Amino acid sequence: MSNSHQTHVTVIGAGIVGIASALYLQRAGCRVTVLDRSGPGEGCSFGNAGLISPGACVPFSMPEMLWKVPQYLADPLGPLAIRWAYLPQSLPWLLRFLAAGRPRRVRAISRAMAALHSRAFTAYAPLLKEAGAEDMVRHSGQLYASKQEHGIEGGRLVQGLREAAGVKVEVLGSDELHQLEPALSPLYRSALFFPENGYSLNSFRLVQVLAERVVRNGGDILRRTVSGFRFADGRVSAVVTEAGDLPVDRLVIAAGAWSHRLLTMLGTSVPLEAERGYHVMLPDPGVRPRLPVSNRDHSFAATPMENGLRFAGTVEIAGLDAPPDFRRAQILLRHGREMYPGLRTEGMTEWMGCRPSLPDGLPVIDASSNFPSVYFAFGHSHYGLMGAAITGQLIAEMAAGAPPSIDLAPYSVRRF
Ligand SMILES: Cc1cc2nc3c(=O)[nH]c(=O)nc-3n(C[C@H](O)[C@H](O)[C@H](O)COP(=O)(O)OP(=O)(O)OC[C@H]3O[C@@H](n4cnc5c(N)ncnc54)[C@H](O)[C@@H]3O)c2cc1C
């Protein structure tokens, strides 16, 4: 259903954020072209843990973070590692990250997380329905589990943030935990259960299925690398690609961890860093966990997906271009074996992806100050799968000139 009066929007990036934005833009009546140098979902969206956690309202940078930095520098295989060689480049970002952990900032960031995340399932619902993919997302609940007997609830600040956000959470002892998840080793002795959280059965296939829907709706998805922009009459008139210039009317930058490179060419600077994470995928794990489990002792998630059991997580600050250090994936496997006795590893695959992260962990959902017909949708850090659909909805509202469903101030590109 295209007509010559339709607004045309070009989206750079066919990750989950770009594809969800494309679908919402189509729902708002726009004609859409998505550009990506790879296929849909082959960036960070390929291998995440699949968790959709409306209850996630505790920022990564917390007041105690400062005291842990020496440990992060000392242990290249720890849950958060900073490569020495990359320290000079990452230092400004790291200092801002630590500054985001002041208690007052933490509360404001938490409110902004909750505003987005609480809408995750409702924003996905129409997209999944339209794509016939409702079975790809489960409202199963999620466990956070620990080998420690006490302390899983977190300190007063953490509990206060969850209370303020109205997050439903149940504290479980060992017996209750193992009734709910018999596959988990008895070494795990305490847990939190978040009944309103859930997960995607396959993060990559989800992007592909939604991308197919974009095309069936009349959109184009083209394999192109965007290397620059052309400007005319004070606006962006074209994107430069290896296959020539493509004229643009409106533009969405949803290029994940690479977005800042494009923004620089548009005269905007943002402190975007790659928080690199790893996964191991076990296609035939020999155990059948019922629920996704966040391992609170070792900072990763174990997710039972349609194509196997995935252990995914940890953070490595080493820049976008450094080669992966797959010893980090092996550490995930070691901890995973401890969680699920009898684990089989035949056919195992490993992966590394770059989370697009700003120092406060919140995304940028905004219009460019220099070019009002250019929108920004990136920087979803640990929560891009969860935040993609609501981001798409907000970008479509922006493009339609409609009032935003939530206050967009916390996600402004000008906050840095
Ligand atoms: C180990 C791990 C576990 C995670 N677990 C979860 C989780 O459980 N739940 C959750 O919500 N999130 C999770 N995340 C985070 C989530 O995966 C990311 O936030 C999300 O995938 C970001 O999506 P995106 O579309 O912004 O970026 P991407 O998926 O990286 O997409 C960006 C796209 O832009 C393209 N691109 C970049 N530059 C250009 C250019 N110049 N020209 C053309 N194309 C370009 C890239 O090729 C890429 O396809 C996890 C991440 C990791 C690493």
Ligand 1: nearest atom to the Cα of 352: 53
Q: Nearest 5°: CA angle at 39, between 37 and 40?
A: 110
- pLDDT range class, residue 69, cuts 50, 70, 90: confident
Q: What CA–CA distance (Å, rounded) separates 236 from 272?
A: 22
Q: How far is the CA of 64 from the centre of ligand 1 (A)?
A: 28
Residue 4 pLDDT more than 60?
no
User: Alpha-carbon distance 281 to 311, whole Å?
Assistant: 7
167 neighbors 57 (Cβ within 8 angstroms)? yes
| CA 296 remoteness from chain centre | 19
Geometric angle at alpha carbon 357, from 404 and 223, rounded to 5°: 80
* 3-state DSSP assignment of residue 289: coil
Residue of minimum CA distance from atom 15 in ligand 1: 382
- Give residue 85 CA to ligand 1 midpoint distance, Å: 24
3-state secondary structure of 196: coil
Say if residues 340 and 289 touch (Cβ distance below 8 Å).
Answer: yes
Mean pLDDT of 351-366: 98
Distance CA 167, CA 245 (A): 48
Output 175 or 66, whichever has higher pLDDT.
175
Q: Are 365 and 377 in contact (CB under 8 A)?
A: yes
Q: Which residues line ligand 1 (CB under 6 A)?
A: 12-18, 35-38, 42-45, 48-51, 225-226, 254-258, 262, 277-279, 301, 312-313, 353, 355-356, 378, 380-386
Alpha carbon of 353 to ligand 1 centroid (Å): 7
pLDDT per residue as tens digits for the range 226-238: 999 999 999 999 9
Confidence of residue 64 (pLDDT cuts 50, 70, 90): confident
Does 2 have pLDDT greater than 70? no
Contact between 22 and 30 under an 8 Å Cβ cutoff? The reply is: no
| Distance from Cα 46 to the centre of ligand 1, integer Å | 7
Q: How confident is the model at residue 75 (pLDDT cuts 50, 70, 90)?
A: confident
319 CA from centroid of ligand 1 (Å):
15
What pLDDT is stored for residue 73 in this prediction?
78
Q: How far is Cα 388 from Cα 407, in angstroms, rounded to an integer? A: 17
Phi, psi (rounded to 5 degrees) for 389? -70, -45
Strands 80-82 and 235-241 come out as unpaired
pLDDT tens column, 384-410: 999 999 999 999 999 999 999 999 999
pLDDT for residue 320 is more than 60: yes
For 238-276, what is each residue's pLDDT tens digit?
Answer: 999 999 999 999 999 999 999 999 999 999 999 999 999
The C-alpha atoms of residue 224 and residue 38 are separated, in whole angstroms, by 8
- Of 250, 322, 311, 318, the C-alpha closest to 283 is 311
Residue nearest to atom 27 of ligand 1 (CA): 256
Report the nearest-CA residue for atom 31 of ligand 1: 15
**CA of 385 relative to ligand 1 center, distance in Å:** 8
Mean pLDDT of the chain, nearest integer: 96
Question: Which strand (E) or helix (H) includes residue 170?
Answer: strand 170-172
What's the CA gap between 365 and 378, in Å, rounded?
7
Task: Tell me which of 33, 36, 411 to substitute to probe ligand 1's pocket, judged by most ligand atoms within 8 Å of the beta carbon.
Answer: 36
Mean predicted confidence (pLDDT) in 37-65: 96
Q: For residues 293 and 381, is the Cβ–Cβ distance under 8 A?
A: no
Query: How confident is the model at residue 1, as a pLDDT?
Result: 41
Q: Which residue has the tokens 């997302």?
A: 137
Does 3 score more than 80 pLDDT?
no
Rounded to a whole number, what is the largest CA-CA distance in the chain? 68
CA of 49 to the centre of ligand 1 (A): 12
Asked if 385 and 393 count as a contact pair (C-beta separation under 8 A), the reply is no
Q: What radius of gyration do the chain's Cα atoms show?
A: 21
Quick: pLDDT tens for 87-107.
Answer: 999 999 999 999 999 999 999
| pLDDT, tens only, 131-160 | 999 999 999 999 999 999 988 989 999 999
Alpha helices in 166-290, H assignment, sequence order: 174-180, 203-216, 259-265
Of 228, 381, 295, 241, nearest to 79 (Cα)?
295
Q: What pLDDT is recorded for position 48?
A: 98
pLDDT tens track for 177-214: 999 999 999 999 999 999 999 999 999 999 999 999 99
State the Cα–Cα distance between residues 171 and 228, nearest whole angstrom. 51
> What pLDDT, on the 0 to 100 scale, is given for residue 393?
98
User: What is the reported pLDDT for 6?
Assistant: 87
In angstroms, rounded to a whole number, what is the distance separating the alpha carbons of residues 322 and 415?
A: 29
In 3-state terms the chain splits into helix, strand, coil percentages (rounded to 5) of 35, 25, 35
What is the C-alpha separation between 334 and 325, in angstroms, rounded? 15
